[in-house]
Amino acid sequence: MPDLIHDLVNDRIQTLHREAAEQRVILRAQRVQRARRGVTRANERLRRVLSREF
């Protein structure tokens, strides 16, 4: 019985580690998307300003 409990605990720990790793990937992807949107908006603003200058 103690081996079964030990195995269940280890399995749960591994699951938590895997879920945490997945969350880190998701957060990184969200940050990249946010940064890309910011770059796109900055490029649009720059394009608008430059088109007024010329």
Distance CA 31, CA 50 (A): 28
Higher confidence at residue 44 or residue 53?
Answer: 44
Domain hosting residue 48, numbered range: 1-54
Distance CA 46, CA 2 (A): 66
Count of residues in the chain: 54
- Could you give the number of structural domains in the chain? 1
Q: Taking the CA atoms of 33, 36, 42 and 48 in sequence, report the sign of the dihedral they define.
A: negative
> How many Å from the N-terminal Cα to the C-terminal Cα in the chain?
80
Phi, psi (degrees; rounded to nearest 5) at 16: -65, -40
What pLDDT band is residue 1 in, cutting at 50, 70 and 90? confident
What is the predicted pLDDT for the residue at 2? Answer: 85
For 12-26, write each residue's pLDDT tens digit: 999 999 999 999 999
Region 32-53: mean pLDDT is 96
What is the predicted pLDDT for the residue at 54? Answer: 65
